[in-house]
């Protein structure tokens, strides 16, 4: 069983190396099937829109490839990549050492600070000691879940995990959780909604922990797909050189102050 | 196959098992408490009682359980910001927990399905037995307590066994509202270890064992009340 699987694996790897030079049929981008504005969300007609979708289009234009989006549940996105349901993860996934043990990443294509929001009460202290006994919400399988567990739960806070960031925000608005930790850009978008304006305020950026918070967002690829990884890296570098990142970001004025882009 | 994670995560799994059992026992208890009067009202009650009971069963049975759970959890959640005093009230520790909403939704669901089952059960008790009880001068209350209710329950015990097993398998929906039940714990393991099959196989085994024990329990109950026709 194990032996035969390894043979299939090797054969697939050889086939992939052989075809690396030529164009692929189609590159399938795996996107978490949930609203994550302003990066990926669906408009009223069901079309994927957002900063990451625009970047995907730019990457594909650069590579002269046909691309498609495969929707997948966030919490199973890494196993789905490995099961070849699509070719790369394109879903605001942060490059971390832990994930690198399982999959490989391209270079980062954006970075955003990690922040906490909380109820509007003027209390801006977010040190772990101060948040003892508080309930902090985070999306499952994210760097935020890991961070909250390592820093806040360890100091006596409680964590609640949700399948989507949207649900964390819902419970933040309902007051069931005291704090909500996520990417600055995503929470900024929430704070600008009516619900977000009414309930919450930005508490600030959490203390850095590079091991957990990682090194920006990149596309996740299977470890053996080095050819695809290199091609995406090439495209990202070319786009950075052409000023395409700034061009895309200019369409999202609220996002511009929130993210760091790759330099040419 | 890699089971090494079991050593790290078994406390969460056991805790999840406990939560799942609590969800099942509480919802079956409260659900049955509601189902008996709901069934009786439909079978023998006056029209002004029978009609709302029927409407309740139709509504519960006509909507997906997941919608009901989210209706209570996220739906009521929208209303909380309108009543800021709630957050400082003594009710808040309960209102903020998903577990409470899961028990409410599962109980109502069980009441809806079993209310309909109990209606059939009450109607299924042979008229002759009820008339015989009346003829020997039993008060209406004693009649229900001694004859009508026990006979009705015995009639539908096999159905109730099946429905309760079904209820067990509805409980994993609770993990969608932050309850760390058996399914929630399993998902956490899947997310942390990136292993898919082993945790899912284990959780399937857990549910099968609980089901097996429940079926044994119901069989024992059925033998306890011998039935001859």
Co-location of A188 and A229 in the same domain: no
Residue A163 lies inside a defined structural domain of this protein: yes
Note whether B120 contacts A: Cβ–Cβ < 8 A: no
Nearest Cα of chain A lies from the Cα of B80 at a distance, in angstroms, of: 6
Co-location of A85 and A176 in the same domain: no
Written in H, E and C, the secondary structure of chain A is CHHHHHHHHHHHHHHHHHHCCCCCCCEEEEEECCCECCCEEECCCCCEECHHHHHHHHHHHHHCCCEEEEEECHHHHHHHHHCCCCCEECCCCECCHHHHCCCEEEEEEEECCEEEEEECCCCCCCCCCCCCCCEEEEECCCHHHHHHHHHHHHHCCEEEEECCHHHHHHHHHHCCCCEEEEEHHHHHHHHCCHHHHHHEEEEEECCCCHHHHCCCEEEEECCCCHHHHHHHHHHHHHHHHCCHHHHHHCCCCCCHHHCECCCC
> Please, which pLDDT band fits residue B225 given cuts at 50, 70 and 90?
confident
Co-location of A96 and A176 in the same domain: no
Co-location of A150 and A185 in the same domain: yes
> Please, which pLDDT band fits residue B85 given cuts at 50, 70 and 90?
confident
Q: Which CATH architecture has domain B22-178?
A: Orthogonal Bundle (1.10)
B88 pLDDT more than 90: no
In total, how many domains does chain A have?
2
Nearest to B176 among A163, A171, A176 (CB): A163
A2 pLDDT more than 60: no
User: Model confidence over B175-204: pLDDT tens digits?
Assistant: 999 999 999 999 888 888 888 889 999 999
User: Are A135 and B78 a contacting pair at CB < 8 A?
Assistant: no
Which residue of chain B comes nearest to A99, CA vs CA?
B194
Co-location of A141 and A98 in the same domain: no
Range of the domain at A203: 114-213
Note whether B26 contacts A: Cβ–Cβ < 8 A: no
User: Model confidence over B4-33: pLDDT tens digits?
Assistant: 999 999 999 999 999 999 999 999 999 999
User: Which whole number is the average pLDDT over B82-95?
Assistant: 85
Residue A89 lies inside a defined structural domain of this protein: yes
Residue A264 lies inside a defined structural domain of this protein: no
Co-location of A34 and A107 in the same domain: yes
> What pLDDT sits at residue A4?
56
Q: Indicate the domain borders of chain B.
A: 22-178
> Please, which pLDDT band fits residue B78 given cuts at 50, 70 and 90?
confident
> Please, which pLDDT band fits residue A75 given cuts at 50, 70 and 90?
confident
User: Which whole number is the average pLDDT over B54-65?
Assistant: 96
Co-location of A97 and A222 in the same domain: yes
Give the span between the Cα atoms of B224 and B202, in whole angstroms. 33
> Please, which pLDDT band fits residue A13 given cuts at 50, 70 and 90?
low
- What is the CATH classification number for the domain harbouring A44? 3.40.190.10
């Amino acid at each position: 069983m194990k032996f035969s699987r390894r043979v299939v694996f090797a054969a697939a790897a050889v086939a992939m190396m052989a075809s690396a030079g030529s164009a692929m049929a189609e590159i399938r981008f795996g996107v978490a099937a949930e609203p994550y504005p302003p990066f990926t969300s669906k408009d009223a007609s069901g079309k994927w829109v957002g900063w990451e979708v625009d970047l995907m289009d730019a990457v594909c234009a650069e590579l002269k490839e046909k691309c498609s989006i495969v929707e997948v549940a966030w919490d199973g996105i890494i196993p789905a990549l490995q099961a070849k349901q699509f070719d790369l993860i394109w879903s605001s996934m942060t490059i971390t050492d832990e994930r690198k043990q399982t999959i490989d990443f391209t270079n980062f294509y954006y970075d955003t600070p990690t922040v906490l929001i909380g109820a509007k009460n003027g209390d801006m202290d977010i040190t772990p000691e101060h948040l003892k006994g508080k309930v902090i919400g985070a999306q499952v399988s994210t760097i935020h879940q890991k961070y909250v567990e390592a820093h806040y739960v360890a100091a006596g806070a409680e964590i609640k995990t949700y399948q989507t960031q949207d649900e964390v925000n819902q419970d933040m608005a309902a007051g069931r959780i005291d704090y909500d930790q996520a990417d600055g850009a995503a929470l900024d978008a929430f704070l600008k909604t009516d619900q977000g304006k009414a309930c919450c305020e930005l508490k600030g950026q959490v203390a850095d922990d590079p091991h957990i918070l990682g090194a920006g967002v990149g596309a996740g690829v299977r470890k053996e797909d080095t050819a695809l990884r290199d091609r995406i890296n090439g495209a990202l570098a070319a786009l950075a050189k052409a000023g395409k990142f700034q061009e895309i970001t200019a369409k999202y004025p609220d996002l511009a102050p929130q993210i760091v882009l790759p330099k040419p | 196959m890699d089971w090494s994670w079991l050593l790290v995560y078994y406390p969460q799994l056991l805790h999840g098992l406990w939560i799942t059992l609590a969800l099942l026992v509480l919802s079956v208890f409260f659900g049955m408490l509601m189902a008996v009067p709901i069934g009786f009202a439909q079978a023998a009650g006056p029209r002004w009682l029978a009609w709302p009971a029927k409407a309740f069963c139709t509504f519960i049975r006509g909507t997906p359980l997941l919608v009901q759970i989210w209706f209570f959890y996220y739906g009521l959640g929208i209303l909380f910001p309108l009543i800021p005093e709630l957050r400082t009230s003594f009710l808040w520790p309960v209102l903020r927990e998903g577990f409470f909403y899961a028990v409410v939704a599962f109980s109502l669901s069980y009441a809806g399905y079993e209310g309909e089952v109990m209606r059939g059960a009450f109607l299924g008790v042979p008229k002759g037995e009820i008339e015989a009880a009346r003829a020997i001068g039993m008060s209406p209350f004693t009649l229900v307590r001694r004859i009508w209710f026990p006979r009705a329950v015995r009639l539908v015990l096999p159905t109730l066994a099946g429905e309760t097993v079904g209820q067990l398998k509805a409980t994993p929906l609770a993990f969608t509202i932050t309850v760390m039940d058996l399914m929630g714990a399993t998902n956490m393991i899947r997310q942390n270890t990136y292993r898919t099959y082993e945790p899912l196989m284990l959780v399937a085994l857990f549910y099968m064992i609980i089901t097996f024990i429940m079926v044994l329990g119901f069989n024992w109950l059925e033998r306890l009340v011998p039935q001859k026709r």
